[in-house]
Amino acid sequence: MLQLGQLDFYRGKVRDVYTLPNGLLAVVASDRLSAFDVVLDQPIPYKGQVLNQMAGHFLEATADIVPNWRLGSPHPLVTVGHKAEPFKVEMVIRGYLSGHAWRTYAAGGRTLCGVALPEGLRESDALPEPIITPTTKAALGSHDEDISREAILEQGLVAEADYLQLEAYTRALFARGQAMARERGLLLVDTKYEFGKLPDGTVVLIDEIHTPDSSRYFEAEGFEARQAAGEPQQQLSKEFVRQWLIANGFQGQEGQAPPVLPESFINEITQRYIALYERMTGTKFEKDALNEEEHRLESAVRSFCLNL
């Protein structure tokens, strides 16, 4: 753990969060990998750097439509920004029937988070329009749970005016993300957004957006032909990790232990993360060989905060 004179510290699934004086947060991305809300035992080299830098890219690219918490990244693993009070829900939005939504549908479910799904859909089909399927925001070690808009309001998890703002921001962000993905020959299939509120009442986007951990992408070229032939879509996301875990008997259920990831599979995960970063940002990923030196992290964060 870093020594930054922090007021508080929280270790999330894949990030370490430091509450600093003057209403600031320093979020340090780790190489930990989470699947089915469980942190796997083995780290993925350079994953933290990929996610931190990709998140910064997309937060900058969407700041004109939604204010966000980020002030800057003084180190490849670190983002410093405003501390916001998180809303107790995560806003998931889906443009295609894939992942959890498909597994629910294939099991016979025709309603997801209070949203009705039409009959006759196949895996990876485009939905008539994007649907918002929120989840509760779980603590470490717990599972996020599907929840409907009606339940969110009934339980008072989010005030109605704020929730309507979250929905509007979610749709605007998804539309921007889909447009940016299409420019890179990809389809943004689904993603999640997290929001918080600043002390002055401003609703802001927090956490990361449009990364392989929070989003699913398909290759656009050949999408229609693969659907017509009933073939699996070519994905760029963390879903291939989930599928490997499922095939090896793990879905995060009680009593299940994550299987050991082979070294070759760990290397493949790293390469897939880097490939998506380069594809989505249009820039070459430069590995920071010293990114785990804590004194370098601390020095960078201290210097950045002093100059704000």
Q: For position 100, what pLDDT does the model report?
A: 92
DSSP string, the chain: ---S--SEEEE-SSEEEEEETTTEEEEEE-S--EETTEE-SS--TTHHHHHHHHHHHHHHHHTTTS-BSEEEEEETTEEEEE--EE-SEEEEEEEES-HHHHHHHHTT--EETTEE--TT--TTPEEEEEEE--EE-PPTTS---B--HHHHHHTTSS-HHHHHHHHHHHHHHHHHHHHHHHHTTEEEEEEEEEEEE-TTS-EEEES--SSTTTEEEEESTTHHHHHHHTPPPPEEETHHHHHHHHHTT-SS-TT--PPPPPHHHHHHHHHHHHHHHHHHHSS-----TTTT-HHHHHHHHHHHHHT-
Q: For position 89, what pLDDT does the model report?
A: 97
Q: For position 3, what pLDDT does the model report?
A: 61
CATH of domain 86-237: 3.30.470.20
Q: For position 242, what pLDDT does the model report?
A: 87
Q: For position 10, what pLDDT does the model report?
A: 87
Q: For position 239, what pLDDT does the model report?
A: 77
Domain spans of the chain? Answer: 8-84+264-306, 86-237
Residue ranges for the chain with pLDDT beneath 70: 1-4, 138-143, 289-294
- Its pTM stands at 0.87
Q: For position 294, what pLDDT does the model report?
A: 67
Asked if CATH classification 3.30.200.20 holds for the domain at 8-84+264-306, the reply, yes or no, is: yes
